[in-house]
Structure 1
Amino acid sequence: MQQLLAKTYEWQGLTCHYWLAGAGGETPLLFIHPVGVGLSGLFWDRCVGHWQTLAQNCSFYIPDLLGCGRSSLPHLAYYPEDWAAQLRFFIESEIAQGVVLVVQGAVLPVALELVRLAPQRVRALILSGPPTGSLISQNTRVLWQRLRWRLFDSPLGWAFYQYARQERFLRRFSVKQLFAKPQAVDRQWLEMLTQGAANLNTRHAVYSFLAGFWRRDYRPILQTIAQPVLVVMGDQASSISRQGTAESPQERLAFYTELLPNAAGVIIPGRNVLPYESTAEFVDVCQQFLIAHSL
């Protein structure tokens, strides 16, 4: 396995960090990490490490979104368009060719905004556990989004983040909401989250996610994506939203494959963090998809 190289670039006066491995001739893979307490590009470490053992002729780009990880942590309300603009510049300045996007969970709107901004830069998409259809089929009132942001961006939100970054909370949340098997919530996972949340300035990206700035009706964009798309769902997939508690993995998969013009879907063992919990199975279906589309 090749060692991941830590690199940076400047965008709009901010420092953006990413990890790079390989320099193969295949289409570069660009991994978009989820947003949450302690999460950053390191979320993909286990997945990329396994992928490297199987594919020697690949290049892997793993950025930290602004507000996360080693990238700058300005006190901002982050919208999907902001992160999409960061990634567009990243592709154009650091990669300089079309990429395959590998996207985890509810950061799907970031990928959709990126496709809208630079469709020629995205050759295909792999969606790992995308959010329930109800979450990206309804426009949330801007007023309520801003009110939630103000609530989180206050002493109350600061106290919540102090509590949420404790290992006890992270373990309980991971077992209840993210993993199919409690024993899969291992020491590596918990240390990644606690270390990632050590800097309190990472809280603003989390507040932005919790405020629901990504909650909009994205069906019109989904229906226009011509690129090949692979949707990977866990057989025990669930949602942190009460609106999605009754939705089966099959129903969620059907929502995406019916909307997207050029999509295939597959269900593998696991719940909501497939690249981490079901690494081998996830990488296997991704590789089959890439081979099928000569990517």
Structure 2
Amino acid sequence: MLKFHPPGFGQKFTQTSLGTIAYYTQAQGITETPIVFLHSFGGGSSAYEWSKVYPFFESTIAPDLIGWGDSSHPARDYRPEDYVMMVAEFLEKISDQPVTLVAASLTGALAIRLATQRPELVRSLFLVCPSGFDDFGQNAGRRIPLDIINTPILDRIIYTIGATNDLAVRNFLENFLFANRDRITPEIVNAYLESARKSNAEYAALSFLRGDLYFDLSLYLPQLNTPTAIVWGNQALFTDVNLGRRIAAANPQAIRRFEVVPESGVLAHLEQPAIVARLLKQWINSETD
């Protein structure tokens, strides 16, 4: 996946209890407080998702989480606890100080869980459309019925048809992730395809589609003390901007900023990276003043 990342960034590897994590960082190394970027979940997701934002910053680290991209793809059913543990182990390996943690969608919700459980690892949070997809007891909705996605063999066929060919990936991006299809480039499609075609890539993706990774984020919001900023694409599907406002209102002491990105879906950082990079820079500067 390195070819999809900007010049000047290299690929490194580190071990966690669930396998090897591949991550991308500046070739010259980390010189300041690290900014760690966590990609969202969905067929073909990877650290590429943040590759149009993190070049604007120094000391950035963007991992492919276990089950995605160039990291290990163990054949297992994944649970939220797996990723909270995995990210904690990763942060302990790559930094001896608290990091600024940047995440999106479900990993944004997982980042909040991590910050409540291991606050010493996280200096601040910058989250795009964070959701546990079962927030406030309201399921965000599945695109495929459970009786179908839980059927052995059929679930693999659905993944192969829906995530590993050019037309399906473009359709997924156009109809579910982006507000403006004209912003979808061949590079974006190819990056998603390469990740989706990795051996055993279906295990993490199907855990997400089945809802195995869903949880109620609202249960963790009262425990959050880490300074947090949230940005939300105004055309995000399944988890719309009203959910974002409700999440922000649940803990205004910790969630200090809430910004809406116009004409954007759930991947505002890939669809409108300049806007998200500016908001992230403002947030970091405000936290260091």
Residues 124-162 of structure 1, C-alpha deviations (whole Å, 9 max, x = no match)? 111112238x7322288xxxxxx9599447210111011
Q: Distance in 2 between matches of 1:200 and 1:268?
A: 35
Q: What RMSD over aligned residues (CA atoms) do the two structures have, in Å?
A: 2.3
1:154-194 deviation digits (Å, cap 9, x = unpaired):
21011101101221111112111111111111111100111
Equivalent residue for 1:204?
A: 203
User: Residue 137 of structure 1: SS of its match in structure 2?
Assistant: helix
Match of 2:161 in 1: 163
Aligned pairs (5 A) from 1:38-117:
38-49=44-55, 51-52=56-57, 58-117=58-117
CA shift, 1:220, in A, is: 2.7
Aligned to 2:250: 259
Other structure's SS at 1:102 match:
strand
Match of 1:292 in 2: 286
CA distance in structure 1 between the aligned counterparts of 2:118 and 2:188, rounded to whole angstroms: 33
2:223 is paired with a residue whose SS is coil
Distance in 2 (alpha carbons) for counterparts of 1:65 and 1:220: 24
Deviation at 1:16, TM superposition (A): 1.7
- Does residue 11 of the first structure (1) align with residue 3 of the second (2)? no
The answer for the alignment partner of 1:120 in structure 2 is 120
Whichever residue aligns with residue 46 of structure 2, its letter is: S
Task: Using structure 1 for the length normalisation, give the TM-score.
Answer: 0.85
| Counterpart code for 2:190 | E
Determine the structure 2 residue equivalent to 1:268: 261
- Shift of the alpha carbon at 1:266? 0.6
Q: Structure 2, unaligned stretches of length 5 or more? A: 1-5, 140-144
Partner Cα separation in structure 2 for residue 153 and residue 59 of structure 1: 44
Q: For the Cα contact (< 8 Å) 1:153–1:204, is it kept in 2?
A: no
Q: Percent identity?
A: 23
CA distance in 2 between counterparts of 1:87 and 1:252 reads: 25
Deviation at 1:283, TM superposition (A): 0.5
Q: TM-score, normalised by structure 2?
A: 0.87
How many residues are paired up? 274
Give the gaps of 5 or more residues in structure 1.
53-57, 141-146
Q: Which amino acid aligns with 2:180?
A: K
Q: Take 2:147 and 2:19, find their aligned partners in 1: how far apart are those partners?
A: 22
Bigger helix share: 1
CA contact (8 A) 1:32 1:62 kept: yes
1:37 is displaced (CA, Å) by 1.0
